[in-house]
Structure 1
Amino acid sequence: MHPTVSIKKRLLFLVFISFAVVFGLIIRLLFIQVVKGEEYQKMALPQWTLDVSLNGKRGYIFDRNGKILAENISVNKISVIPKEIPDSKREVVAETLAKVVGVDEKKILEKISNKNLQEVVIAKQVEEEKAKSLLRINIDGVIISEDMKRFYPEGSLASHVLGFTGIDNQGLDGVELVFDNFLRGVPGKFTMPIDALGRKVEEGEEEYFEPFPGYNVILTIDETIQHFTEKALNQAMVHSKPSKGISAIVMDPKTGEILALANRPNFDPNNPFEGSQEEWYRRWRNKAISDSYEPGSVFKTITAAAALEEKVVSLHEQFYCPGYTTVAGHRINCWATHGSEDFVKGVQNSCNVVFVTVGQRLGVERLYKYIRDFGFGKPTGILLPGEAPGLVMPEERVGPVELATNSFGQGIAVTPLQMITAVAAIANGGKLMQPQIVKAVVDAKGKIVKEFKPKVIRRVISEETSATMREILKSVVAEGTGRAGYIEGFDVAGKTGTTEKYMPGKYVASFVGFAPADDPRVIVLVVIDEPNNPETHFGSQLAAPVVKSILEDTLKYLEVQPKGMTTREMVMVPEVRKMKLYEAEKIILERKLDFILQGNGDSVVDQMPKPGALVEENTKIVLYLDEAPNEEVVVPDLKGKSVKEATEILNSLGLKIKIKGTGFAVNQKPEKGTLVKKGEVVEVEFRPREN
């Protein structure tokens, strides 16, 4: 073959190969840029951008009246971009940061030495002064961004309901934990361009993606009633000196809504990790729902209701108590020798002999039906963590002695929440209600995201049996063991309980009471675990006065009128919003009311109390004028006001109240006329009026 032809063939082959390679590169380039372009762009994005995370603001927690129980305060987060710190300066930066924020220097150095990380967080929830000192030093690569810290303005109030959060603002206990998915916000971020060495590009465009706040949670708790409850428990701790603490629950028996829940010991959710680890768990424990106890004589309300519903006993049937009874060869003692008594008297006397007899008539099958129907032996389903199911012996293992002891509340373990829920069913007409701790979850504009309405679980007893039980339990307070729960002017119904533990000399004292007996507005249970009062260990003497204190304050706060007591004329608050000031003043004065002005202007934009509320004559109506109230307000004269009136007046002015005593206001601090800033606390002393 001619050499020239051979060379041409080789050239053609090389050209073909070149075209093939170029064509392949073009196809590959199209594949990378078009088909895989978006995917590779996402992979490259972290190499030429830096994202600084921004936490979403956690939602608020409110009481049923809109008072803030959990909010946020602005703090700072300290972060470092490792690539922006030269190797020669890492030790100096670590030392400086350690001194300012109080974090171990070696840990900081280890973090900032990892150049593979875009951002490392050095400290969260850093106070403003520390952040300002870092800004003054102005270290390259150190970023100070806004952070949020959970704040509980009322301190330890309702701590076992609210719970607390961790360093990352995540819910760790209480409502904060159960509703964490609703409360936590959606994080945002701050994005800035960086070069190949990870350094910020000054000319590049920065982007800000705003974080979104979490939803707000509205509790069934009433802050004022919670204050009453905790005040009473503080007094009981001094009087009873219990080794294992106290629990109290206040509930609306008709709806199952919990108005207050408190335990001792408790904790401050602003500083939940104070003290030793052993102390943490002891203080955090929500005894009202997590601890089971033998209810003793309070459980007799269940046996009595079951017996009346099943018609195995009549009200005036006679019994005889010699101080004990014998069951299957076992002697079961009563706490006293009551002699001849009818059934009602037997309940008043809390007589074990009567209830053993009634329990035997019911039998295991029927008694256990009511034990289950009243909700014992399984959790109530309240939206709080750590609820215990209680302890009910399997029905097949119940013999004659177990039946006898169960009938008067021994050999069965319940939680305080189970017990008050069951007695509430006896009080409210026979319906077992679902205990509620949350009313609703709402967004920032108040729109309901999720609502929790009162829920009837089942009917347990008839309305007729409920009415009969209310009368019997009313007589227990008026004539029987519950006399210490009596409140003048109110029909209080209740039942005492005293149980000896399986350790000699260790008792549980309890009392449950509700009022008014004929139409219950509120029910209260107090359980005192291992009282150390040298004079007594009985629920009638230790727990009943605590329930009385809570009931008395709460009934007055709810403006439940006592029987047979003269009160000032009640007046309906008129509608004066959108009126001129002179028109509003005239109408208010004609109704024998008074007024307080807030703001400047000549038109009324809002008022407190709202139109339609019933108040006593001479009550001061707060009128808000067309300009917003100033940051400073004048402390009003509260003398002679009820707890509810004083609370409403101060809250309407943006002030808080610290309540001492009950009845009507006699002293206050600061004095009337004092100029104070909104949010300050006015301490008000209340005393009953002298007859």
Structure 2
Amino acid sequence: MRREIAVRAFRMLVLLAALFGVLGARLAWLQIWGGESRGASGSLKANAVLQHSDALLLDSGRGQFRDRRGRLLTGSTVQSLAAFPNNGQPRGAERDIRELASSLGVEPAELTAWWSRLREPAVWRIPGSGQAVDLTSKQIHLVERAHLLGVAVLPYSNRYPSGITPLHAIGYISQHPEHALQLYGDQIAKKRMKLTAPLGGSGLEQSLDRLLQGRAETTVKQVTDAARRPLDGLGLRLNVDDNPHFPLQVTTTLDLDVQRIAESAMKEYGIGKGAIVVLDAANADILAMVSLPQLDPYHIGANGTDERNHAVTAVPPGSVFKTVTLAAALEAGVTGWHETFICNGHYGKYGLKCWKKGGHGRLTLEQAYAQSCNVAFATLAERLDPAWLQVTAERLGFARQIGWHTDRFADGAPLRLLDEEEAGSVFLSKQIAKDGGARTGTGIGQRDVRVTPLQAANMIVTILNDGRAFAPRLVKEVRYADGGLMASLGVQTAPSKYGGIEPETAAALRRGMLAVVREGTAASALRGAAWPLSGKSGTAELAGKQKGRNDHWFVGYGPVGQKPRYAVAVLIEDQPAGLRNRGATVFGNVMDGLRRLELHRKQAAAQAGEH
């Protein structure tokens, strides 16, 4: 009996071995030669499907950014020209290819060369850009009529659309497998995330990367045989992950209209390096953040671009820092509004000079601030305990990161929205602060003083709110794709560990800034402004390789005489020494633009109310 069972088992094994041998041979035939029978039976096509598929990522499912009015900042969908590798087979009729190439503005040879180079699916992109071309209705008709092999019109998501400009604030993405493993090793191991998934490289793309990671990809596959030849009758296979919660929708505090006004001001005056920050004067929400040279998210490091966000990079503030020195001196009781100073153009020691040849003569403290007298403020700086100057700077939001942050976000982890923000400095060490020359240079915003445009604009908000410091916010809320709220990022105060300046001091600073515009260094530049304005100018002398060049500053607010709505910092970098400071001029241009915008919106609202 046992012998009979053993014999039957042996025969069954032989039969199975033979069967698998036949199947293996058949499979090999399909892989190597089967593709020749492209019009063969459905079973042939079914087996070919198992062999190979080429996928084109149409939308990564990465979270999207919007401005405060709901306008998309990322993820614009266009009708793209997509092509798949076809192993050198003819694409179609030469006449159709010529006609399509002509409509795209290229020679037929360029189009066919692109097709022949393909090793993976791709879309036709704007020359010199990473953006997919948005086909016109005529171009779409040409493609559909031509029936070109492995060519189709497909909806494609351009991560960074044309005309969307707050790119340093948003940042960029790139593939970095090693970094992906460090950050998301567990998710990759569990196949919840691909090793090639794009990662945020800067800006909000980086600080919010863990929330933005795509969980709802849209891909399209062209089904091919083992030789990567398209199979008739199967065509393209769309794969959509319809997760109702993703991609996440991030509403920023940015206002695209305000952003464009600020950028236009820099462009009008031919400024290629610098920054503008526009904050809501009530709570320090970031309405606009301009940084030049611009970031090209598709070509990081390309000539004429800069990955660094100048709006959060600390540089010498020049006379803008005299606002801190004035606040410190008033609160320390070492001066008063009616004190007079004598400026003959030289301080008398440390080699310090006033910017005005021959000096300002006799002037009061208010006039010294309005005229930005170096001699008067060097005198005040020497009277001050350097520790008190440091404390006052921190109370006004300097020498520390000021942007919105939390130790525990909705996902349980810490979050700092402006992760690249530099803290800046006042004195680099206590030893340096003991030196009289260092103190006088610090008092006028030179030596080791470093401030970001964001901090400078935020100082204005603090002064307008009687010494109450806010944390500039770049994101208002994060919602799921179905509209459900994931997290609300509320307005956040940012007091220093020393508290804030006194309301009386803030009022005195506002008085001084008004004098700057009415009779001081910004009077001529802002005389014709549409709104009454207030602020402080600054010229920072650069050192090292940039010696002989200056940075131009202006920080201010408006409208004056009613509740101010905007606090603005303008930085124009790397200017030739002797060139007139254009900071106030650019500031005035921005504020005029904001007034026009408000009028336009009021008119639009009134017209909408009539209907």
TM exceeding 0.5: yes
Partner of 2:121: 121
Partner of 1:253: 281
Partner of 1:147: 156
1:53-103 Cα distance to aligned partner (Å, 9 max, x none): 654456554332234444412334746587xx7xxxx45569999968555
Q: Distance in 1 between matches of 2:609 and 2:67?
A: 16
Q: Distance in 2 between matches of 1:95 and 1:378?
A: 65
1:267-293 Cα distance to aligned partner (Å, 9 max, x none): 787xx659x922233xx5432223x33
1:481 to 521, 538, 555: 521
Q: What percentage of residue pairs aligned between the two structures are identical?
A: 25
1:537 to 579, 587, 592: 579
What amino acid maps onto 2:66 in structure 1? F
Cα deviation for residue 556 of structure 1 reads 5.9
Does 2:578 align with 1:643? no
Structure 2 CA distance for partners of 1:103 and 1:362, relative to 1, 3 Å: farther
Structure 2 residue ranges without an equivalent (≥5)? 15-46, 98-107, 125-131, 176-196, 405-416
Partner of 1:278: 303
Q: Distance in 1 between matches of 2:204 and 2:454?
A: 16
Cα deviation for residue 507 of structure 1 reads 1.9
Does 2:463 align with 1:426? yes
Contact 2:85 2:116 in 1 (8 A): no
1:542-581 Cα distance to aligned partner (Å, 9 max, x none): 22122223224424644xxxxxxxxxxxxxxxxxxxxxxx
Does 2:556 align with 1:513? yes
Contact 2:552 2:571 in 1 (8 A): yes
Cα deviation for residue 309 of structure 1 reads 2.5
Structure 2 CA distance for partners of 1:332 and 1:548, relative to 1, 3 Å: same
Structure 2 CA distance for partners of 1:492 and 1:145, relative to 1, 3 Å: closer
Does 2:358 align with 1:335? no
1:15 to 1, 4, 8: 4
| Higher relative contact order (Cα pairs below 8 Å, separated by 6+ residues) | 2
Does 2:571 align with 1:527? yes
1:227 to 260, 264, 271: 260
Does 2:475 align with 1:438? yes
Cα deviation for residue 410 of structure 1 reads 0.3
Does 2:500 align with 1:467? no
What amino acid maps onto 2:437 in structure 1? V
Cα deviation for residue 144 of structure 1 reads 6.7
Contact 2:318 2:540 in 1 (8 A): yes
Q: Distance in 1 between matches of 2:528 and 2:515?
A: 13
What amino acid maps onto 2:331 in structure 1? E
Cα deviation for residue 302 of structure 1 reads 0.9
1:192-215 Cα distance to aligned partner (Å, 9 max, x none): 9999999969799x8954445623
Partner of 2:444: 408
Three-state SS of the structure 1 residue aligned to 2:70 is coil
Q: Distance in 2 between matches of 1:78 and 1:366?
A: 64
Structure 2 CA distance for partners of 1:434 and 1:306, relative to 1, 3 Å: same
Q: Distance in 2 between matches of 1:495 and 1:94?
A: 67
Structure 2 CA distance for partners of 1:520 and 1:107, relative to 1, 3 Å: same
Three-state SS of the structure 2 residue aligned to 1:368 is helix
Cα deviation for residue 530 of structure 1 reads 3.6
1:396 to 420, 423, 430: 430
Does 2:493 align with 1:456? yes
Partner of 2:180: none
What amino acid maps onto 2:538 in structure 1? G
What amino acid maps onto 2:501 in structure 1? I
Structure 2 CA distance for partners of 1:397 and 1:95, relative to 1, 3 Å: farther
Structure 2 CA distance for partners of 1:250 and 1:650, relative to 1, 3 Å: farther
Q: Distance in 2 between matches of 1:71 and 1:649?
A: 32
Contact 2:56 2:122 in 1 (8 A): no
Three-state SS of the structure 2 residue aligned to 1:359 is helix
Q: Distance in 2 between matches of 1:139 and 1:521?
A: 57
Partner of 1:365: 387
Structure 2 CA distance for partners of 1:16 and 1:374, relative to 1, 3 Å: same
Cα deviation for residue 460 of structure 1 reads 2.2
Q: Distance in 2 between matches of 1:548 and 1:149?
A: 35
Contact 1:300 1:355 in 2 (8 A): yes
What amino acid maps onto 1:253 in structure 2? A
Partner of 1:603: none
Structure 2 CA distance for partners of 1:69 and 1:17, relative to 1, 3 Å: closer
Q: Distance in 1 between matches of 2:89 and 2:142?
A: 19
Structure 1 stretch 522-531 or stretch 206-215: which is displaced more?
A: 206-215
Three-state SS of the structure 2 residue aligned to 1:357 is helix
Does 2:70 align with 1:66? yes
What amino acid maps onto 1:74 in structure 2? V
Instruction: Output the TM-score relative to the length of structure 1.
Output: 0.62
What amino acid maps onto 1:347 in structure 2? Y
Contact 2:322 2:377 in 1 (8 A): yes
1:458-485 Cα distance to aligned partner (Å, 9 max, x none): 0421222212221222222223223233
Does 2:544 align with 1:494? no
Contact 1:305 1:426 in 2 (8 A): no
Contact 2:522 2:537 in 1 (8 A): yes
Q: Distance in 2 between matches of 1:409 and 1:472?
A: 17
Contact 1:53 1:187 in 2 (8 A): no
1:401-447 Cα distance to aligned partner (Å, 9 max, x none): 11110011001222212222223322321122211222222344544
Instruction: Output the TM-score relative to the length of structure 2.
Output: 0.69
1:473-504 Cα distance to aligned partner (Å, 9 max, x none): 22222232232335679653311112222356
Cα deviation for residue 376 of structure 1 reads 3.2
What amino acid maps onto 1:537 in structure 2? L
Contact 2:205 2:212 in 1 (8 A): no
Aligned residue pairs: how many?
Answer: 510
Partner of 1:597: none
Q: Distance in 2 between matches of 1:136 and 1:308?
A: 78
Structure 1 residue ranges without an equivalent (≥5)? 1-11, 26-43, 112-119, 559-641, 654-691
Cα deviation for residue 158 of structure 1 reads 3.4
Structure 2 CA distance for partners of 1:378 and 1:397, relative to 1, 3 Å: same
1:22-76 Cα distance to aligned partner (Å, 9 max, x none): 9999xxxxxxxxxxxxxxxxxx998479585654456554332234444412334
Three-state SS of the structure 2 residue aligned to 1:325 is coil
Larger relative strand fraction: 1
Structure 1 stretch 449-458 or stretch 514-523: which is displaced more?
A: 514-523
